Amino acid sequence: MALYRYVKAPPAALHVRRKPKELSFVLMGLGGVLLLWALYPILSFAVTSDALFSQIVTPVAESQKIIKPASFSPVAFAAVDGDASTPTANADYSNANLWYPTSPQKHIITPVNTYSLSIPKLKIVNANVTIGGDDLHASLVHYGGTGLPGQYGNAVVFGHSTLPQFFSPTNYTSIFSLLPTLKTGDEILVDYDGMTYKYTIYEMVVLDSTDLSVLEQRFDDSYITLVTCVPPGTYWKRLNVQAKLNTL
C-alpha cells in the first residue's frame, strides 16, 4: 500500500491587470477636446464670415484712376484644365511670388527697400516689411509694383497666418493669425523712409484666392491693404484688410 500520493495542483489563476474603463473615456474625451480646439477657429470663421467679412468691394468712382498691374507669365504654378491660375497641390505659400501667379510682383529698385509696420490692437510692433520680397518666413512682404506708403496708390502687404492659438506678434509664420479680429476704425502704423504714417481701417473683405482686385491701384489717396489666408490655418480664401491714410 502506497504511503504517499502526488496530486497535481490546479493551475494558478492568471491575474491580468485590466485598465479601468474610465481611462478609455478620459482619452476619448481628451481627443475630442483637442479636435474641437483645432477646428473651432475654422468653424467659427465659416459661420460668421458671411455676416462680418463677405462684402462687395466699395465701388470706385469713374473719376478715380485705376490701373491694374501688368501681367506676366505665371511661375511655379501648374495649369489644370487649361487654367494657369490653379496652384499645384504642394505649392509653398511662404513664397510670396506664388500668391498671384497671373500677376507676379515686380522687383523694383527703391531708395528704401524695407520698412516697419505696427498694429497696436494686435500688439504687433515694428514688424519688418520687405518691398518685393518673397520669403514670408523672414518678414512681411510688400507686393512689388503696388503703391508705396504715404504716396498715392495702394500698398499691398502679405503676411502668414495659422490657427489663432499659435499667434505670435514676433513670429512671421503666424503674425497675421488674428487679422480677422480687427474692426473698422482700428489703426495701422507704418514707418517708411523716416516718416510715420497712420492708416485707419475702413473695410474688411474676404475674396477668392484668385481674385486680383486687391492689386488694383487707385490714386485719389494713399491706401494700404493687408492680406492673409482664411479661414485660419487654411489657404481657401484671402482676407483683405483695407485702410486709408489719416489726413490732418
Given phi > 0 = left and psi -120 to 50 = alpha, else beta, which region is 217? Answer: beta
- Alpha-carbon distance of 134 to 59, in angstroms, equals 31
Please indicate whether residue 185 or residue 44 has the higher confidence score (pLDDT).
185
Any idea which of 26-30, 74-78, 146-150 has the lowest mean pLDDT? 74-78
Closest CA to 186 of 199, 171, 174, 168: 199
- Extended strands (E) in 209-236: 217-218, 222-230
> Is residue 46 predicted with pLDDT exceeding 70?
no
pLDDT in tens, 56-70: 344 334 334 444 443
Please indicate whether residue 16 or residue 23 has the higher confidence score (pLDDT).
23
Please indicate whether residue 89 or residue 245 has the higher confidence score (pLDDT).
245
Q: How confident is the model at residue 15 (pLDDT cuts 50, 70, 90)?
A: low
C-alpha cell at 153: 496708390
C-alpha cell at 196: 510715420
Q: Please, which contacts does 122-125 make with residues 24 or more away whose CB atoms are closer than 8 Å?
A: 122/169, 122/178, 122/179, 122/181, 122/182, 123/169, 124/169, 124/175, 125/169
- The whole-number pLDDT of residue 50 equals 52
48-245: which CATH topology?
Answer: Sortase; Chain: A; (2.40.260)
> Is residue 163 predicted with pLDDT exceeding 80?
yes
- The whole-number pLDDT of residue 145 equals 92
- For the chain, which residues make up each domain, given as ranges? 48-245
- The whole-number pLDDT of residue 238 equals 93
pLDDT in tens, 88-147: 445 667 888 888 888 888 877 778 899 999 999 999 999 999 999 989 999 999 999 999
> Is residue 85 predicted with pLDDT exceeding 60?
no
* Total Cβ atoms within 10 A of residue 244: 17
> Is residue 158 predicted with pLDDT exceeding 50?
yes
> Is residue 16 predicted with pLDDT exceeding 80?
no
Q: How confident is the model at residue 189 (pLDDT cuts 50, 70, 90)?
A: very high
> Is residue 37 predicted with pLDDT exceeding 50?
yes
> Is residue 53 predicted with pLDDT exceeding 70?
no
- The whole-number pLDDT of residue 79 equals 29
Phi and psi angles of residue 55, each rounded to the nearest 5 degrees, phi first: -120, 160
Compute CA distances 157 → 24, 124, 136, 202, whole Å: 48, 14, 11, 16
Residue with the three cell numbers 482676407: 239
